[in-house]
Structure 1
Amino acid sequence: MSTDTQWQKMLTSKFASGVLLICLLLTGICIVGLKDMGLSSDYKIFFDDNDTDLQTLEQMDATYTATDNVFIMIKPKQGQIYNVETLSLVYQLTDRLWQIPFSSRVDSLTNYPFSWAEGDNIEIEELLYEEDQLDLARINFIKRAAEGEVDLIDSLVTSDGVYTAINVTTLLPGENHKAEILAIMQAVEADIQEFKLRYPEHSFYVTGLVTMNGAFFKAAKADFTSLIPLMIVFVLVAAGVILGSAQAALSILVVLVLSLLGALGLAGWLGINLSAPSVSAPIIMFTVIVASSIHIISYVKRQLILGHSQFDAVLSSYQHNAKPIIVSHITTIIGFLAMNASDSPPFRDLGNIVAFGVMFSLILSFTLLPRLLLWIRISTKQTIVTNIFERMNGLASIVICYRNLILFTFLPVSVVFASLSFLNETDDDLIKYFNKSVPFRAQAEEIDQHFSGLYNIGYSLSSNQDNGIFSPTYLGFVDKFDTWLLTQQEVVTTDSPLHRIKQLNQLINGDQSQFYQIPKTAKLAAQHFLLYEMSLPFGKDVGNQVSFDKSSFKLTARLKNMTSVEMLAFEARVTKWLQQNTVQGITFEYSSPSLIFSHVGQNNIFSLLQGAFIAFLVISLALTAVFRSFYIGILTLIPNLIPVGAAFGFWYCIQGHISMGLAGVSAMAIGIIVDDTVHFLYQYIQGLKRGLTPEQSVISTFEHTMSAIVISSILLVVGFMLLSSSSFEKNAQMGLLTSGTIVLALLFDLIVLPAIVLKFMRRLPQYAGQPHLTLDQAK
Structure 2
Amino acid sequence: MTAAFRWIVGHPWRVMLLAVAATLAAAAGLPGLGFTAAYDAYFSPDNPEWQNFQAIEAKFDRRDNVFMALAPAGGEVFSAETLAALREATDAAWALPYASSVTSLVNFHQSFARGDELVVEPLIPPGRLSDPQRADARERALDNDRIAGGLLAEDGNVTAVSVVFDLPDSDKEAAFREITTAVRQLGNRLEAEHPGLGVYLTGSVMLNQAMVDSVRWDLTHLYPPFFLLMFLVLAVFFRRVTTTVATLGVLAMSVTVAFGLAGWAGVVLNTASLAAAIIILTLAIADSVHVLVGYAGALAEGRDKPAAMRESLRINARPVLLTSLTTALGFLAMNFSDSPPFRDLGNIVATGVVAAWGLSITFLPAAMMVLPAPRAGAGRLSRRWLDRLARMVIARRRTLMMAGLLVIAGLSAAIPLNRFGDNYVEFFDPSIEFRHDTEFINRELTGMQLIEYPLHAGAEGAAQAPDFLRRVAALAEWFREQPEVRRVVSVTDLVTRLNKAMNGGDPAAARIPDSRQLIAQYLLVYEMSLPQGTGINDLISLDKSAARLAVVLNPIPDQQMRTLDARARDWMRTNLPRDMVTPGSSISIMFAAIARHNFASMLTGTVLAFVFIAVVMAWAFGSLRLGLISLVPNLAPLAMGFGVWGLTVGQTGLATSVVASLTLGIVVDDSVHLLSRYRLARLEKGLSPADAVRDAFAHVGVALCLTSLVLMLGFALMTLSAFTMTVHMGALTAIIIGLALAADFLFLPPLLVTGDRDAPADDGT
For 1:657, which of 641, 645, 651 is the aligned residue?
651
SS in 2 for 1:167: strand
**Does structure 2 retain, via aligned residues, the 8 Å contact 1:477–1:583?**
no
Looking at structure 1, the residues matched to 438 and 604 of structure 2 have their Cα atoms a distance apart, in angstroms, of 33
For 1:111, which of 107, 123, 141 is the aligned residue?
107
The CA deviation string for residues 314-341 of structure 1, in whole angstroms up to 9 with x for no partner, is 1111011110000000000011111111
Paired residue for 1:237?
232
Looking at structure 2, the residues matched to 386 and 551 of structure 1 have their Cα atoms a distance apart, in angstroms, of 81
1:356 aligns with 2:317: no
Paired residue for 1:628?
622
1:159 aligns with 2:154: yes
Paired residue for 1:48?
44
Looking at structure 2, the residues matched to 759 and 72 of structure 1 have their Cα atoms a distance apart, in angstroms, of 67
Deviation at 1:192, TM superposition (A): 1.6
Looking at structure 2, the residues matched to 282 and 6 of structure 1 have their Cα atoms a distance apart, in angstroms, of 30
Tell me the percent identity: 30
| CA gap 1:507/1:389 in 2 versus in 1, 3 angstroms | same
| CA gap 1:605/1:562 in 2 versus in 1, 3 angstroms | farther
Matches within 5 A, 1:74-89: 74-89=70-85
Instruction: Give me the TM-score of the superposition, normalised by structure 1.
Output: 0.93
1:169 aligns with 2:169: no
> Which stretch of the first structure deviates more once superposed, 77-86 or 358-367?
77-86
For 1:7, which of 5, 16, 21 is the aligned residue?
5
Paired residue for 2:297?
302
For 1:682, which of 676, 679, 682 is the aligned residue?
676
Matches within 5 A, 1:612-623: 612-623=606-617
Looking at structure 2, the residues matched to 96 and 653 of structure 1 have their Cα atoms a distance apart, in angstroms, of 50
Paired residue for 1:673?
667
For 1:204, which of 182, 199, 206 is the aligned residue?
199
**Does structure 2 retain, via aligned residues, the 8 Å contact 1:435–1:727?**
yes
SS in 2 for 1:543: coil
Matches within 5 A, 1:756-775: 756-763=751-758
Deviation at 1:18, TM superposition (A): 7.8
Q: What letter corresponds to residue 667 of structure 1 in structure 2?
A: S
Looking at structure 1, the residues matched to 714 and 492 of structure 2 have their Cα atoms a distance apart, in angstroms, of 56
SS in 2 for 1:133: coil
SS in 2 for 1:110: helix
Looking at structure 1, the residues matched to 575 and 406 of structure 2 have their Cα atoms a distance apart, in angstroms, of 55
Paired residue for 1:770?
none
Paired residue for 2:53?
57
Q: What letter corresponds to residue 298 of structure 1 in structure 2?
A: V
Give structure 1 stretches of 5+ with no counterpart.
765-779
Deviation at 1:685, TM superposition (A): 1.1
Give structure 2 stretches of 5+ with no counterpart.
760-765
1:189 aligns with 2:184: yes
SS in 1 for 2:550: strand
Matches within 5 A, 1:380-399: 380=375, 383=377, 387-388=381-382, 391-399=385-393
SS in 1 for 2:413: helix
Looking at structure 2, the residues matched to 328 and 680 of structure 1 have their Cα atoms a distance apart, in angstroms, of 11
Looking at structure 1, the residues matched to 664 and 113 of structure 2 have their Cα atoms a distance apart, in angstroms, of 71
> Which stretch of the first structure deviates more once superposed, 189-198 or 480-489?
189-198
**Does structure 1 retain, via aligned residues, the 8 Å contact 2:159–2:445?**
no
Paired residue for 2:438?
444
1:737 aligns with 2:735: no
The CA deviation string for residues 609-661 of structure 1, in whole angstroms up to 9 with x for no partner, is 33223222221121011112221111112211112211211112112222221
| CA gap 1:5/1:476 in 2 versus in 1, 3 angstroms | closer
The CA deviation string for residues 648-704 of structure 1, in whole angstroms up to 9 with x for no partner, is 111121122222211211111121111110000110111111122323222221221
Q: What letter corresponds to residue 733 of structure 2 in structure 1?
A: T
**Does structure 2 retain, via aligned residues, the 8 Å contact 1:37–1:272?**
yes
SS in 1 for 2:150: coil
Q: What letter corresponds to residue 141 of structure 1 in structure 2?
A: D
| CA gap 1:81/1:5 in 2 versus in 1, 3 angstroms | closer
The CA deviation string for residues 333-376 of structure 1, in whole angstroms up to 9 with x for no partner, is 01111111110111111111110100111222222222112121
The CA deviation string for residues 38-86 of structure 1, in whole angstroms up to 9 with x for no partner, is 3211111011123333233222212211112212233333343222222
For 2:139, which of 144, 163, 180 is the aligned residue?
144
**Does structure 2 retain, via aligned residues, the 8 Å contact 1:720–1:735?**
yes
1:476 aligns with 2:474: no
The CA deviation string for residues 109-164 of structure 1, in whole angstroms up to 9 with x for no partner, is 2221122222332222223343x323212211211210221100111112222222
The CA deviation string for residues 4-58 of structure 1, in whole angstroms up to 9 with x for no partner, is 5553244337xx9888766654443322221021321111101112333323322
Q: What letter corresponds to residue 416 of structure 1 in structure 2?
A: G
Looking at structure 1, the residues matched to 521 and 118 of structure 2 have their Cα atoms a distance apart, in angstroms, of 12
**Does structure 1 retain, via aligned residues, the 8 Å contact 2:279–2:715?**
yes
For 2:461, which of 456, 463, 467 is the aligned residue?
467
Paired residue for 1:408?
402
**Does structure 2 retain, via aligned residues, the 8 Å contact 1:227–1:283?**
no
| CA gap 1:476/1:386 in 2 versus in 1, 3 angstroms | farther
Paired residue for 1:70?
66
1:428 aligns with 2:422: yes
| CA gap 1:384/1:314 in 2 versus in 1, 3 angstroms | closer
Matches within 5 A, 1:439-518: 439-518=433-512
Deviation at 1:763, TM superposition (A): 4.1
Looking at structure 1, the residues matched to 280 and 579 of structure 2 have their Cα atoms a distance apart, in angstroms, of 56
Instruction: Give me the TM-score of the superposition, normalised by structure 2.
Output: 0.94
Deviation at 1:284, TM superposition (A): 0.8
Paired residue for 1:134?
129
Paired residue for 1:774?
none
**Does structure 1 retain, via aligned residues, the 8 Å contact 2:718–2:730?**
yes
**Does structure 1 retain, via aligned residues, the 8 Å contact 2:466–2:515?**
yes
Deviation at 1:431, TM superposition (A): 1.9
Looking at structure 2, the residues matched to 683 and 583 of structure 1 have their Cα atoms a distance apart, in angstroms, of 69
| CA gap 1:289/1:504 in 2 versus in 1, 3 angstroms | same
Paired residue for 1:270?
265
